[in-house]
Amino acid sequence: MRKSIYIHVPFCEQICHYCDFNKFFLENQPVDEYIDLTIEEMKHTVKKYPQTNTVETIYVGGGTPTSLTTEQLQRLLEAVPKHFHLAEDTEWTVEVNPGSAGADKFAMMRRTGVNRLSIGAQTFDPVLLKAINRDHQPDQVEETVRLALEAGIENLSIDLMFGLPGQTMEHWKDTLQKAVSLPITHISAYSLKIEPKTVFYQMMNKGKLKLPEQELEADMYAFMLEFLKGNEFDAYEISNFARRGAVSRHNLAYWNNDEYYGIGAGAHSYVEGQRIRNHGPLPKYMKAVREKKLPYLEMHEVTFSEKMEEEMFMGLRKRLGVSKERFENRYGRTVQEAFPGVTEDLKKAGWLYETPERFMLTDEGLLLGNEVFEKFLFAAD
């Protein structure tokens, strides 16, 4: 089943200190040609990998999609239904930086079919925002939410970050409080991870980055679970919370180990059993598409064992965990047969629990997810 598309817009007007995604300074980039070429890629892609289903989720991420002009973004968005068959109720998300889209842009999005926004709020503390090099002010989040609602886009998510350098529990409580007071339906909350090739990574290596202790980070996470529950946000995944059932169907496609198309420089796709990574650098990506080639940097045929591993380490991220029936239907064996002893050990450790239908992480297992997931990798040798 393949009913999702990810589209990557790799341009930003400012680079955040933690970001290691494929992105470039907007200035002087061949943005218009890039849009033409992503549209080309859509065309080639459906030819090579025809649709199996109508598309039910679209996610336009970045970079900063809203760094495009209204005309540019419109051209990109309008191309999608020209090349793919969409379902009636397709969930269509665009990532938005607070302050980078006005009423016009939102109205255009709404007209094209966009019905969900993911707003990069990160924190409501102005000092922390500056420390991570975001270019917006806290009150611009509220402004963005208001404009979106006025344009008729009502399914709104905001991204938050914790474990930031200098962030205290008070900061975090304040940010969460401000978040839930907004008329939004969804929160994604990620802890900061320092990745190579970022400003933070360099600062860390020079000993200039003071990160909160693991204890504080864990406390922040625990507080968030409690707090969001009390505010009617349901923790349906490790770092995703939804009000009134407004889960991100696009993200769930990843966690459910379903296939998806990926369009754009550095985008990833999972089609016909292959995990594919597109060229990241613009010249490489653009050259390939210009020459009517698919811009693939690497392709990997996912083996049967890997599929089972991924089913587990992705599926357990969800609050509902992994369905035993679905696993058996997909792989012709039970989870216990596929991973002898593993579930028992994890249950003993208090990280996993089992119902007649599913395997799920316990609250403690949630915080130590990677320790659990690791156990579902078959030995490398």
Partner 1 sequence: MKPEDRINRRDRIRNFSIIAHIDHGKSTLADRILEKTSALTSREMQDQMLDAMDLERERGITIKLNAVQLLYKAEDGEEYIFHLIDTPGHVDFAYEVSRSLAACEGALLIVDAAQGIEAQTLANVYLALDNDLEILPVINKIDLPSAEPDRVRKEVEDVIGLPGEDCIPASAKAGIGIDEILEAVVKKVPAPSGDPEAPLKAMIFDSLYDPYRGVIVYIRIMEGTVKPGEKVKMMANGKQFEVQEIGVFTPKPVPKEELTVGDVGYMIASIKNVGDSQVGDTVTHAAKPTAEPMPGYRKLNPMVFCGLYPVDTNNYTDLREALEKLELNDSSLQFEAETSQALGFGFRCGFLGLLHMEIIQERIEREFGIDLITTAPSVIYEVTKTDGEVIEIDNPSEMPDAQQVDHVREPYVKAEVMVPNEYVGPVMELCQRKRGDYLDMKYLDENRVNIVYEIPLSEIVYDFFDALKSNTKGYASFDYELIGYKESNLVKMDILLNGEKVDALSIIVHRDSAYDRGKIIAEKLKNLIPRQQFEVPVQASIGQKIIARSTIKAMRKNVLAKCYGGDISRKRKLLEKQKEGKKRMKSVGNVEVPQEAFMSVLSMDENK
Does residue 34 bind partner 1 (CB under 8 A)?
A: no
Does residue 190 bind partner 1 (CB under 8 A)?
A: yes
User: Is 262 in contact with 268 (CB distance < 8 Å)?
Assistant: yes
> Token match 């399914």: residue?
155
Does residue 165 bind partner 1 (CB under 8 A)?
A: no
Does residue 176 bind partner 1 (CB under 8 A)?
A: no
363 vs 352: CA distance, rounded Å:
9
282: tokens are 């613009």
3-state DSSP assignment of residue 47: helix
User: Between residue 96 and residue 135, which ones bind partner 1 under the rule CB under 8 A?
Assistant: none
Does residue 330 bind partner 1 (CB under 8 A)?
A: no
Does residue 180 bind partner 1 (CB under 8 A)?
A: no
Does residue 367 bind partner 1 (CB under 8 A)?
A: yes
Q: Which of 43, 173, 268, 324 binds partner 1 (CB under 8 A)?
A: 268
Q: Which of 306, 347, 353, 362 binds partner 1 (CB under 8 A)?
A: 306
Stretch that binds partner 1, among 27-35, 76-84, 103-111, 308-316 (CB under 8 A): 308-316
> Token match 């709020």: residue?
121
Angle at 296 between CA 9 and CA 260, to 5 degrees: 65
Closest approach of Cβ 275 to partner 1, in Å?
6
Stretch that binds partner 1, among 24-32, 84-92, 307-315, 326-334 (CB under 8 A): 307-315
Q: How many residues bind partner 1 (CB under 8 A)?
A: 43
191 vs 202, which CB is nearer to partner 1? 191
> Token match 């339906």: residue?
185
Q: Which of 14, 15, 21, 81 binds partner 1 (CB under 8 A)?
A: 21
In this structure, how many other beta carbons lie within 10 angstroms of the beta carbon of residue 230? Answer: 9
170 vs 223: CA distance, rounded Å:
11
Does residue 369 bind partner 1 (CB under 8 A)?
A: yes
Does residue 91 bind partner 1 (CB under 8 A)?
A: no
165 vs 262, which CB is nearer to partner 1? 262
Closest approach of Cβ 22 to partner 1, in Å?
9
Residues pairing with 124 in the sheet: none
User: Is 255 in contact with 315 (CB distance < 8 Å)?
Assistant: yes
Q: Which of 191, 274, 336, 362 binds partner 1 (CB under 8 A)?
A: 191
| H-assigned helices in the chain | 31-48, 70-83, 103-112, 126-131, 139-151, 169-180, 199-205, 214-230, 249-255, 282-290, 304-315, 324-331, 335-338, 342-349, 363-367, 369-374
Residues pairing with 354 in the sheet: 359
> Token match 């007649």: residue?
356
51 vs 260: CA distance, rounded Å:
10
Stretch that binds partner 1, among 77-85, 114-122, 260-268, 329-337 (CB under 8 A): 260-268
Q: Which of 40, 125, 217, 311 binds partner 1 (CB under 8 A)?
A: 217
156: tokens are 């709104």
Does residue 8 bind partner 1 (CB under 8 A)?
A: yes
**Sites of contact with partner 1 (CB under 8 A):** 6, 8, 21, 59, 61, 189-191, 193, 214-215, 217-218, 221, 238-239, 251, 254, 260, 262, 267-270, 275, 277, 300, 306, 309-310, 313-314, 349, 366-371, 373-374, 377, 380
